[in-house]
Amino acid sequence: MSGTTTALKPPEDARAPVRHPDAPAPGELLDAHNHQCFGCGDQESGLLLRARAGEGVAVTAEFEVRPVHQGAPGLAHGGLLSAALDETLGALNWMQRVIAVTGRLETDFARPVPVGTVLHLQARVTAVHGRKIYCTATGRIDAHDGPVAVRADALFIEVRVDHFIQNGRAEEINAAIADPDQAKLARVCEVNQ
Ligand SMILES: CCCCCCCCCCCC(=O)SCCNC(=O)CCNC(=O)[C@H](O)C(C)(C)COP(=O)(O)OP(=O)(O)OC[C@H]1O[C@@H](n2cnc3c(N)ncnc32)[C@H](O)[C@@H]1OP(=O)(O)O
């Protein structure tokens, strides 16, 4: 059973999430927030996860489990399945136009996921309380209505772009600042904070 810890239960006075008026339209493919990202970037050894805007404050994503993602022979590594859930939940940032990072992530592994599976992920924000964003995700095998293999509940915490500038390695931060797409993304999100 997921979401059992108190930290993942929204308080009574939490508000419903609000879709930003300029959020991408349902079905629209979401850009990678960083092309070097292990989850949504374009590294061959990464997840190559592709997310799309959903209705409301929700997203969908697909992750093809390749041999490089194995744990046990022929099966996906559990940590990478958590990463796929985390990345999908992170894509919810686009729908509220905030910058938020994972504070807590609890994963349930309900079924083994064979190599060759396309994991169909769905994530949505359930509640917001100050900087705290409560959200949930599932991953289903080979179809959007396939059997649930993994699910997660998470708490994301809203941060300012300084979070990355102060904590990230200078080499990558400087490259991101010099990248017009990254600078635009940071501006768009910060305007809403
Ligand atoms: C340019 C675009 C890029 C866009 C980039 C988007 C990236 C998305 C990528 C996918 C997602 C990731 O993997 S993100 C990477 C993994 N995550 C991280 O690296 C985060 C590391 N942790 C941190 O930096 C920090 O702990 C933070 C930012 C999460 C929180 O620190 P803080 O800002 O000082 O806030 P703090 O006062 O401690 O906490 C605020 C409130 O949240 C609660 N809180 C904080 N952490 C937790 C927790 N683990 N579990 C429960 N509750 C928590 C506190 O109790 C408090 O509640 P109250 O007192 O207010 O009630």
Which domains are present in the chain? 6-159 (3.10.129.10), 161-193 (no CATH)
What CA–CA distance (Å, rounded) separates 10 from 41? 31
Least confident piece of the model among 61-75, 103-117, 135-149, 163-177: 163-177
- Residues 70, 77 contacting (CB under 8 angstroms): yes
Task: Choose among 75, 146, 165: nearest CA to 113.
Answer: 75
Which backbone phi and psi does 136 adopt, to 5 degrees?
A: -145, 155
Q: Is the CB of 83 under 6 A from ligand 1?
A: no
Q: What is the pLDDT of residue 185?
A: 74
ipTM: 0.97
Query: Please, what is the angle between helix 170-178 and helix 180-190, to 10°?
Result: 90
Confidence check: pLDDT of 12 > 80: yes
Instruction: Name the pLDDT band for 3 (thresholds 50, 70, 90).
Output: very low
Q: What is the pLDDT of residue 193?
A: 60
- Residues 106, 153 contacting (CB under 8 angstroms): yes
Q: Round the average pLDDT of the chain to a whole number and report it.
A: 93
Confidence check: pLDDT of 182 > 80: no
Instruction: Name the pLDDT band for 186 (thresholds 50, 70, 90).
Output: confident
Q: Which atom of ligand 1 is nearest to the CA of 156?
A: 29
**How far apart are the CA of 163 and the centre of ligand 1, in A?**
10
State both tokens at 86.
């985390």
Q: What is the pTM of this model?
A: 0.96
Q: What average pLDDT does this structure show over 142-167? A: 97
Q: What average pLDDT does this structure show over 101-117? A: 98
Q: Is the CB of 48 under 6 A from ligand 1?
A: no
């805007």: which residue's tokens? 53
Task: Choose among 108, 131, 116, 111: nearest CA to 2.
Answer: 108
**How far apart are the CA of 157 and the centre of ligand 1, in A?**
4
Residue whose CA lies nearest to ligand 1 atom number 52: 7
